[in-house]
Amino acid sequence: MKVRSILRDLPAPGEMLGDPDVCIAVLDGPVDLTHPCFEGADVKRIDTLVRDPAGRGAMSLHGTHVASLLFGQLESSAVGLAPRCRGLILPIFQDGREGRVPQLDLARAVERAMDEGAHVINISGGERSADGQAESMLDRALRMCEDRGVLVVAAVGNDGCDCLQAPAAAPSVLAVGAADINGAPMEANNWGIAYRENGVLAPGQAIEGAAPGGGLMALTGSSFATPVVSGVAALLMAEQLRHGDKADPLAAGRAILRTASDPPCSSPDDYECRRHLAGQLDVARAHQMITRPSTPTNDQALAAESQTRPTAFLTRRHDAVTSGVGVNAAGERPSLPIPHSASDERPTTMDTNAAHFAPNEGAPEAGRTTEAALEAPSPPAQEEPQQPEPTPPAAEAGDTNDALLVEASASEQNEGSHRAPASHAAGSQEVSSGSYGVAAAAPPASASFSVNEPTAGVRPSCGCGGSTSGCQCGGNGNGAHQQVIYAIGTIGYDFGTEARRDSFRQLMPNVVITDPAGGPEKEVQPNIYDPAQMRAYLSKYPTESRHLIWTLKADATNLYALEAEPAVGMDWDRPLITNPKASAAEISEAATETAGNTNKLAEFVEVLSYPPVSPVYRTFRDAIVGQTLGENDPNYVSRVSIPGVLTDRTARTFQGENLPVVEVQSRGLYTWNEAVLVQAVIEAVKQEYKKRKPPVELDEGKIDTLKTTIRALLDMAYWRFRNLGQTSADRAMNAAGTNAFLVGSELKDGLLSAKHVPGKDDNFYALESIKVAKSTFCRPGGSDCQDVYLTFFDPENERRARVTYLLTFDVALPLPIPIGPAHKFIGGM
């Protein structure tokens, strides 16, 4: 099926080509941008954790095909739905890795797509979940999309069951299932109850598109129905622009959902009815809804129609935190289920169930055709298949989904394409765990793509679809902007490999243990996982710090691998002068005092006995010990702020996680003691009460209440809004949450907001919300200014006026800079 045939009922389908001001992001496998169908397309690859160029594996096929359905150019053999739209390619699935990635990596890509200006984000994959809820970071990224008006379109999955998968089941996501050539839902579709509110069926059988190497293929599954809906949404936005309106991605999504053809069934609870989701994609009606003028009659009709159609796009779900076995590129069941429990701290992963080539067979090279393919008869090219394609049987447990139906056309035989080897005849499908069958439509054949096969080609320094010449990628390639990071979390360390782990065991000295009962001392082997022992070793041998993989964690999830910036200055094991702003006279006085005090002189000599160290690595090694102390200990470390730049490198942990590497800068690298901050705010509040006339002394009960309020406030700021520190808004929020001096003052004022509002002023306000918006005023010269709004309310009187404090930060550099004083006003945001 030609994908543009879905536009045939429109008044002028040939003119529906999209608009350069509409941007679609494809989060999928690597895309072969050297394919002829992309020649002239405004498509750019953005750096992600997947650095490899497109090869001949299943994920490259998956990604290339999906992208061609959107961006294939008019003069090519694979014309897409929106050839004039701007495209972003963010690879998340990798050849040879079974297409499995953590939901965290998907969240990274979603946020990056938003930052790059995407209006529509296409995700032809997902992770099966009992309730369909995404993990916290992905859920937050989806809510950010909704807040920013970005439409996320995702596949419902292909387990063929009454089940859900993330992210498609999120209420703000437009979920897509595959329909066959007759419009009936395909047996492999998932049809969980949530999809009755936010899911539509779209053509997904034998959809013709590009394959790596210049060939064409016809593929089947919800993975390939998803870009159909993404493309239609982009075309609707282009129509909005053409009529002089602002492009509204969520309005386009609502139009698609509300105009979907009603399921042909009597009861919405019927099995057949639920398999139709919310209905069938109706491009003509969606186009009419977007383009018809706003008149009382039309508005009434729209309102009436809205009452009978799902309203999932108007609903937001909060606090969605789940775990599972992973999102997969085709949205299928993981091939090898990974046990996961609530106490399991390993990251969940996403499976692709990519098709396999047999181990002794290679994928056909692009530009070449196998002998079997040349001997096989080729059906004539048709705009629409006249007979239904054979539908694969419903997937059973452990089976596959997204069947890749291969159609051999005359042009394919001449140009070369991915084709089944001759040894795989029809009916001889070899579907192993973790694969989905590749069945030829004509001639019958089956093939499978090895997920363990090495990726083809040499990895270029800037891999844009496999081309190393003149490519303009995101990230650090060819002068593109560097991604700034300002994240919050705790510090961990990892060895990466057994060899590196054993080298630390061998090099670290034995530990002497004293018998509490007075017995002889014992010498035991070091415990390389003991933070105190590791810190003691790194203090004596600071160069060993660079042989560890330092990590930033949120809860138990590794977010980044951390490396120190190239050293421009070194420091001792601990500062000789603790006050960096000390005057010359104060330094002289401290030196005189040290010279006359034996204990201080001994401490001074001990400090000098250790080699100098990078301030970044010193902070890391101190933090791993401080994090183990009690929260009332003065050296306790509750969190660390990490300013830095995201590099184009990754680090692989001992558990196999692939983490992006952040080059950490010492400016803005702080450790925070929550107890100290709480006490500082309490002391500030006490001083405010003493200034009243008459002065007021806070009793212990009032102080305990104040402590509880402050900790609850900090927990809200740190835990509810935890993030990757990647977007401008997140960096500003993290700056507001960790700038102890500025926010400590505002927390004090916020708690005492009652004095600004009529009514009693002896009760404490509490933090209601933190919101971030791009500032309307900013400094010239590359600044990135964000406004942070802290809104406080009276928990004892909900009707009392809110008080909002406005803080502005410039987050263009790794260290966010506050601009001007804080402002306060009555009322919420």
Query: Is there a domain that residue 721 lies in?
Result: yes
Give the model confidence (pLDDT) of 296-306 as tens digits: 555 455 555 54
Confidence of residue 257 (pLDDT cuts 50, 70, 90): very high
Residue 229 exposed, middle or buried by CB count within 10 Å (0-12, 13-18, 19+): buried
Q: Is the pLDDT of residue 353 over 50?
A: no
Residue 710 exposed, middle or buried by CB count within 10 Å (0-12, 13-18, 19+): buried
Query: Is there a domain that residue 452 lies in?
Result: no
Instruction: Kindly report the CATH number assigned to the domain that includes residue 108.
Output: 3.40.50.200
- Asked whether the beta carbons of 83 and 73 are under 8 A apart, the reply is yes
Same domain, 659 and 694: no
Same domain, 148 and 281: yes
Rounded Cα distance between 386 and 532, Å, is 72
Query: Is there a domain that residue 542 lies in?
Result: yes
Q: Of the candidates 631, 664, 697, which is a domain's last residue?
A: 664
Q: Which pLDDT score, from 0 to 100, does residue 293 have? A: 60
Q: Is the pLDDT of residue 521 over 80?
A: yes
Same domain, 650 and 758: no
Same domain, 505 and 643: yes
Residue-wise burial string across 408-439, b where 16 or more C-beta atoms lie within 10 A, e elsewhere:
bbeebbebbbbbbbeebeeeebebeebbbbbb
Same domain, 651 and 793: no
How far lies 258's CA from each of 71, 113, 238, 242, 281, in Å?
Answer: 26, 26, 19, 22, 10
Confidence of residue 691 (pLDDT cuts 50, 70, 90): confident
Span 372-394, mean pLDDT? 35
Q: Of the candidates 316, 346, 368, which is a domain's last residue?
A: 316
Same domain, 493 and 531: yes
Same domain, 699 and 726: yes
Please list, in sequence order, all residues whose beta carbon lies within 8 angstroms of the beta carbon of residue 343, skipping any fewer than 6 positions away.
none
Q: Which pLDDT score, from 0 to 100, does residue 358 have? A: 27
Confidence of residue 744 (pLDDT cuts 50, 70, 90): low
| Domain of residue 305, residue span | 3-316
Confidence of residue 821 (pLDDT cuts 50, 70, 90): confident
Query: Is there a domain that residue 585 lies in?
Result: no
Distance of CA 178 to the CA centre of its chain: 25
Q: Is the pLDDT of residue 379 over 70?
A: no
Same domain, 626 and 730: no
Q: Is the pLDDT of residue 65 over 90?
A: yes
Q: Of the candidates 316, 333, 355, which is a domain's last residue?
A: 316
Query: Is there a domain that residue 396 lies in?
Result: no
Q: Which pLDDT score, from 0 to 100, does residue 611 have? A: 62
Select the more confidently predicted residue: 415 or 206: 206
Give the model confidence (pLDDT) of 224-235 as tens digits: 999 999 999 999
Same domain, 652 and 532: yes
Query: Is there a domain that residue 446 lies in?
Result: no
Q: Which pLDDT score, from 0 to 100, does residue 475 have? A: 35
Query: Is there a domain that residue 286 lies in?
Result: yes
Span 525-530, mean pLDDT? 94
Give the model confidence (pLDDT) of 460-503 as tens digits: 112 223 332 332 223 333 334 578 999 999 999 999 999 999 99
Same domain, 647 and 693: no
Number of domains in the chain: 3
Confidence of residue 106 (pLDDT cuts 50, 70, 90): very high
Same domain, 277 and 138: yes
Query: Is there a domain that residue 90 lies in?
Result: yes
Give the model confidence (pLDDT) of 261-272 as tens digits: 987 776 767 777
Question: To 5 degrees, how large is the angle CA 751–CA 755–CA 761?
Answer: 85
Same domain, 660 and 539: yes
